[in-house]
């Protein structure tokens, strides 16, 4: 299963390549979720994390996710085993070589740029570099990367194995054929891709940012406690209130996105990060992954 582009010599840039292998950088919640989707749909996938201790847990989480699909009869036991065979885990960055490399690391421009620069030295120019960023400009991310036409946004949503939407974001330098290939691949992964321009927050996070920001303002002003705010919004039809959703996403990750958008919109007050959320981050209350955020979570969760 592959998303193909016009064939050409291997010396040409990524806009003339095919996607047959994938590498994911970052074995956190998003990275392992994207890796599960890829191996489930037949793609040999490398999952890298600089912290080797993350890898066994990532494999266990992916296996558990695939097992749930077997229980729901959406996957056969044989398909489950075959998917795990396609998964390679590594803490050695030198092994991260693939047709498509998706970064799912911390939401910092300098970290992502440095990563792509390192990967460019060991991958051919035919490799596509995709960012799972939810807010950072693809054009700025591609700046300083050899062959910036191969850099594109491929923004999955949490949890990646379940959520259908994928934003495909083209920066100023992104080759149309690269965006086309990533769009086609997202379709092959069972997703519903949409094309987005390289604007702050793209589509979803620009619209959704105020769901969090206004909820936090209401809590800061002590209009109502977080539990009441969540219950009211859930009763209005939202699947999760803003505070339960921030705990699921990661309070720290959500705060970084808001901070990045605040800067990108030249410190427009309507995007101002919350002091309440800053305190949670400073205290290490990052949500479900840390056992405590706006709510507390038993260790079994």
- Determine the pLDDT at residue 158: 87
First and final CA of the chain: distance in angstroms? 35
Q: pTM for the whole thing?
A: 0.85
The answer to whether the beta carbons of residues 140 and 163 sit under 8 Å apart is: no
- Determine the pLDDT at residue 3: 47
Catalytic annotation present for 286 = no
Residue 40, CA atoms < 13 Å, CB-side half-sphere: 26
Catalytic annotation present for 167 = yes
Per-residue pLDDT of the chain (301 residues; tens, 9 = 90+): 444 443 333 445 444 348 999 999 999 999 999 999 999 999 999 999 999 999 999 999 999 999 999 999 999 999 999 999 999 999 999 999 999 999 999 989 999 999 999 999 999 999 999 999 998 999 999 998 999 999 999 999 988 999 999 999 999 999 999 999 999 999 999 999 999 999 989 999 999 999 999 999 999 999 999 999 999 999 999 999 999 999 998 999 999 999 989 998 999 999 999 999 999 999 999 999 999 999 999 874 4
Q: Which domains does the chain have, with CATH numbers?
A: 14-197 (3.40.50.720), 205-290 (1.10.1040.50)
CA distance 192 to 188: 10
Active-site entry in 134, 135, 253, 274: 134
Active-site entry in 103, 167, 259, 274: 167
CA distance 62 to 9: 36
Catalytic annotation present for 132 = no
DSSP structure string for the chain: --B------TTS-GGG--B--EEEE--SHHHHHHHHHHHHTT--EEEE-SSTTHHHHHHHHHHHHHHHHHHTTSS-HHHHHHHHHTEEEES-GGG---SEEEE---S-HHHHHHHHHHHHTTS-TT-EEEE--SSS-HHHHHTTSSSGGGEEEEEE-SSTTT--EEEEEE-TT--HHHHHHHHHHHHHTT-EEEEEES-TTTTHHHHHHHHHHHHHHHHHTTSS-HHHHHHHHHHTT-SS-HHHHHHHH-HHHHHHHHHHHHHHTTT-GGGPPPHHHHHHHHTT--BGGGTBSSSB--TT-
CA distance 239 to 231: 10
Catalytic annotation present for 155 = yes
Active-site entry in 147, 155, 285, 286: 155
- Determine the pLDDT at residue 227: 97
Active-site entry in 132, 205, 259, 274: 205
Torsion of CA 146, 147, 149, 155, to 10 degrees: -40
């Amino acid at each position: 299963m592959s998303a193909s582009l016009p064939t050409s010599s291997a010396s040409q840039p990524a806009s003339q390549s095919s996607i047959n292998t994938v590498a994911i950088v970052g074995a956190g919640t998003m990275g392992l979720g994207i890796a599960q989707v890829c191996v489930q749909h037949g793609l040999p996938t490398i999952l890298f994390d600089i912290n080797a201790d993350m890898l066994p847990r990532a494999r266990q989480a992916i296996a558990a996710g695939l097992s749930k699909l077997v229980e729901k009869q959406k996957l056969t036991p044989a398909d489950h085993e075959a998917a795990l065979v396609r998964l390679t885990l590594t803490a050695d960055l030198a092994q991260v070589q693939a047709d498509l490399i998706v970064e799912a690391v911390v939401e910092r421009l300098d970290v992502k740029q440095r990563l792509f620069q390192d990967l460019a030295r060991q991958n051919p120019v035919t490799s596509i570099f995709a960012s799972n960023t939810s807010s950072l400009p693809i054009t700025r991310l591609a700046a300083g990367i050899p062959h910036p036409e191969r850099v594109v946004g491929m923004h999955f949503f949490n949890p990646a194995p379940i959520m259908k939407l994928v934003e495909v974001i083209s920066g100023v330098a992104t080759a149309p054929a690269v965006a086309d290939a990533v769009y086609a691949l997202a379709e092959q992964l069972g997703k519903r891709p949409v094309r987005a321009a390289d604007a702050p927050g793209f589509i979803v996070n620009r619209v959704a940012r105020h769901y969090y920001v206004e909820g936090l303002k209401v809590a800061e002003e002590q209009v109502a406690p977080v539990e009441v705010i969540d219950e009211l919004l859930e009763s209005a039809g939202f699947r999760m209130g803003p505070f339960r959703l921030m705990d699921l996403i990661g309070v720290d990750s959500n705060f970084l996105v808001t901070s990045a958008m605040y800067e990108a919109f030249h410190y427009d007050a309507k995007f101002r990060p919350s002091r309440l959320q800053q305190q949670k981050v400073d205290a290490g209350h990052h949500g479900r992954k840390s056992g405590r955020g706006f709510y507390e979570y038993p260790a079994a969760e």
